[in-house]
Structure 1
C-alpha cells in the first residue's frame, strides 16, 4: 500500500510544479494581451477584428490541443509505473495527432471571412478578421507542438523551461508588434497583419526552444523523443486519440461559450465588442492562475493514479482546490475595487471612444467577478478528472452546461429581456456554475476503481 504524504508536503509539491506553470500561462496570456493593447492603440475597428479573429483561432486551437493535453496525464502515469519507453510513445503520438490536426485547419482560416460575415459581424471587421486569420493560422502547428512538449515537460516536472521559453516569446512578440503594427524603424505599417505575423514568429520560436531542450538536455536524452520520429505506433495513437478528443471537445464547449458571447456582442456594436474583449482579457489573465494549478493537479493526480494511491490523490485534490479558491476570492476584490484602472491599461487615452469602452467594460468586469469562484472550480475539477484519465463524461457535462444552458440563457437575458451585454455575461455565469457543480460531484464520487488508464 502506498503511503500518502501530508497536506503541507502536498502543497509544496503542487506549488513547485504549479508556480512555473502559472507563470508560463500568464506569459502565454501576455502574448494575447500585447496584441490587444497594441492593436487597441491602433484603432477601434482593428481591435474588434483582432478580438474576433484571435477568439476564432483560439476556439480551433483548443479543439486540436486535446491530443497534446492528453500527453500530460498519460506521461505522468507512465512515469509513476517506471515505464520510460511508454513516455516516448505517448509523447510522439500526441505530436503526430497535433501536427495532423494543424494541417487540416489551413483551409478554414484562409476562407474565414465568410464565416465571420455569416455570424453577423460588420463587413470591415470581418474583412480585417480574415486578414488576421490567414496569417495567424500558420501558427497553429507550432502552437500545438508547444502544448504537447509543455505537457511532456510538465509531467517530468520541468515546467521552468516552459516559463523561460514563453517569456522569450513574449519579448519577441512585443517587439515585432511594435515594429509591424505601427511601421516603426522603417518597417511597413501592417496593422492587424503585423500582429498576426508577430504571433506566428513567436510560436515558432517557442517550439524551437522547447524541442531543443527536450532533445538535448542531458537528463532527457534517454527518452530519444525525436529518434525515428516518423515511425507509426498504432496502439498508442489510438490511446492518445481516445483520451484526447474528449479533452479537445470539452475545451471547445467552454471556449465556444465565450466565442458565442463575442459573436452576440458583435451584434450589439463595435464598442461593446471591444469592451467585451478587454473585460474578457482581464478575466482570462486571472484564469491562467487556476489553469496552472489545474495542470499541476493533473500531473500530481496522474502520478497518484499510476501508483494506485487513491488517498494521496484525494489529499492533493483538497490542497489544489483550497489554493485555487483562495486566489478566486482575492480576484473578486480586485475586480470590484479597481475596474477603471484595469480597463484603462488596454486603451489609448487619445481614443475618442475610450470613455464609452471604459464605462461599458466596467459593468462587464463586475459580472466577471461573479463567475471567478465557479470558473476556478470547474477547471480544477477538469484537471483532477484528467489525472485519473476520465474525459468522456466531463465532456458531456461541459456540452450540457455551456451549450444547452449557458448560451440559451445568455441570449434570452441579452436580447429577449433587453439586458444587453450585462445579461449576456450573466448567462455565462449560469453555465459555469452548473459545470462546476456537476464536475466536482463527478470527481468526489469516484471510488478508485471506476476509471481505467487509457
Structure 2
C-alpha cells in the first residue's frame, strides 16, 4: 500500500504546492488580492467536483478490469477513451460557470471589489480545467497499473514552473507587469497544461504503456461503458461537491465577517488541504488496490487493502494534528506579514480547530476511497449530505452567529460534520468489505 500511496500522496501535495506558491505571492500584495483569489479558488474547486468524480470512477473501473478481465488492455483502453470524452463534454458547463463567476459571487453577497477581482482570476484559470482533468485521468490509469511515479516527477517539475510563472505574472518579476490575481490564474492554467502534456509524452515513450494505444481511434464511442462511468462517477461527484462545497460555502460565510476573516480562512484552509493530500493519496491507492482485489474476487485481499489504508491515514493525521495544535502561530506567520497581526491571530485559531478534525478528515477520505474500489458510491453521497450539510454547516452557523464565536465557531461546525461522515464511512466499509465472494463478484462484474 505504501509503495503505491507515497507517489500519489506526493503528487497531491505538489498540487497544493502550486496553490501555496500563488498564496505566498498574493499574500505579499495585500488582503484584497488574497481574499479575491480565495473566493475564486473555492468556486473553481466546486466546479472541479465533476472532473474529479469522473476520473475517480474511471480509476476504479480500470483497476477492476486490470484485476479481472483477461483482455484487460483492450478494456482499459476503451474505458480511458470514454472517460476522456466525458471530460471534454463536461468542460462546457464548467467553463460557462467560471466565466460568469463574478456574477455568481455577487449574488452570494460578496463585496463588489472582491467579486470583480475574483472574476479576473477565474477567467484565466478556467483554461487549465481540461488539461488538469487529462492529467488526473492519466494518473488514474497509471495507478491501476501500480506505476504512479511518472505522474509524481511531472508534478514536482510543475512546482518549479508555477513558481517561475507566479514570479513573472503575479509579482511582476523580470520587468513584467504585475497582474496580481489574473497572473495567479494564468500561472495555474499554464502549470496544468504542462502537467497534462508532459505526462502524456512520457507515457507514450514507455513501451509497456504505449501498447495500450490510448489515443488510437479516439473518435470511437462506447455508450454502455460511458454510461457506467457516469453511473459510478456521478455519486462521487456529488460527494465531492458536498465536501468541497461546504468548505467553499464556509469561505462565502467568512466574507460576511470581512476580508480579514476570508484571508485567515484562506491560510488555514491551505494548510488543512496540504495535510489532507496525504490521506487523499492513500485513498487513491486504496481504490486501486481494493479494485484489483475485487476484480480478482479476493475478498480477504480487498479487506486487507482497505483497513491497511485507513490505518496509514490515521497514523499520519495524528502527527499533523499534534503539529497544528502545537505551533499554529508559527505556521500562520509563514503566510502573513507582521503588519497583518489580527489576520495572523485568527488564522492561528482556525489552524488549531483544523488540528482537532485531522483524524476524522483522514479516515473519511480513505474509507471513501476503499468503497470506490468496490464501486460503492451512492451511500457515501448520502453520508456526505447528512454530515456536511445536514449537521456541519448548520451547526457552524449556529456557533458562529447565534453563539457569537465568529469564524472559529463556523470551523467547529466543519469539525463536527467531518466526524459524523468518518464514522458512517468506516461502518459502511466494514459492512461492504465483508460481502460473500459471490456478491463481490456481482459488484466487480456490474459493468
Q: Shift in Å at residue 63 of structure 1?
A: 2.7
Aligned counterpart for 1:386 among listed residues 344, 365, 372: 372
Consecutive unaligned residues of structure 2, counting only runs of 5 or more, are: none
2:73 is matched with 84
Whole-Å Cα distance in 2 between the matches of residues 436 and 368 of structure 1? 15
Instruction: Say whether the 8 Å CA contact 1:136–1:200 is kept in structure 2.
Output: yes
Q: 1:344-390 deviations in whole A, cap 9, x for unaligned?
A: 111234xx3x2111111111111111111110110011000000110
Aligned counterpart for 2:197 among listed residues 208, 211, 218: 208
1:44 is matched with 31
Q: Does 1:268 align with 2:254?
A: no
Q: Does 1:30 align with 2:17?
A: yes
Q: What is the number of equivalent residue pairs in this alignment?
A: 438
Q: Does 1:410 align with 2:396?
A: yes
Q: Does 1:362 align with 2:343?
A: no
Q: Shift in Å at residue 215 of structure 1?
A: 2.8
Instruction: Say whether the 8 Å CA contact 1:215–1:225 is kept in structure 2.
Output: no
Aligned counterpart for 1:452 among listed residues 419, 443, 446: 443
Whole-Å Cα distance in 2 between the matches of residues 142 and 122 of structure 1? 31
Q: Does 1:72 align with 2:63?
A: no
Aligned counterpart for 2:412 among listed residues 426, 431, 444: 426
Q: TM-score, normalised by structure 2?
A: 0.96
Q: 1:193-252 deviations in whole A, cap 9, x for unaligned?
A: 111110111011001012123333111111110001111111111111111111111100
Instruction: Say whether the 8 Å CA contact 2:367–2:429 is kept in structure 1.
Output: yes
Equivalences for 1:268-307 in 2 at 5 Å?
268-307=257-296
Give the 3-state SS of the residue equivalent to 2:170 in structure 1: helix
Equivalences for 1:217-256 in 2 at 5 Å?
217-256=206-245
Q: Shift in Å at residue 21 of structure 1?
A: 0.6
Whole-Å Cα distance in 1 between the matches of residues 79 and 400 of structure 2? 45
1:334 is matched with 323
Aligned counterpart for 1:112 among listed residues 101, 116, 127: 101
Q: Shift in Å at residue 103 of structure 1?
A: 2.4
Q: Which runs of 4+ in 1 moved over 3 A?
A: none
Consecutive unaligned residues of structure 1, counting only runs of 5 or more, are: 1-13
Whole-Å Cα distance in 2 between the matches of residues 442 and 114 of structure 1? 40
Instruction: Say whether the 8 Å CA contact 1:247–1:391 is kept in structure 2.
Output: yes
Give the 3-state SS of the residue equivalent to 2:47 in structure 1: helix
Whole-Å Cα distance in 2 between the matches of residues 252 and 260 of structure 1? 11
Moved more, 429-438 or 442-451: 442-451
Whole-Å Cα distance in 2 between the matches of residues 68 and 296 of structure 1? 14
Q: 1:30-76 deviations in whole A, cap 9, x for unaligned?
A: 01111111111111100000111111101101233211111111111
Instruction: Say whether the 8 Å CA contact 1:99–1:145 is kept in structure 2.
Output: no
Q: Shift in Å at residue 318 of structure 1?
A: 2.1
Whole-Å Cα distance in 1 between the matches of residues 82 and 102 of structure 2? 33
Q: Does 1:376 align with 2:362?
A: yes
Q: TM-score, normalised by structure 1?
A: 0.94
Give the 3-state SS of the residue equivalent to 1:389 in structure 2: coil
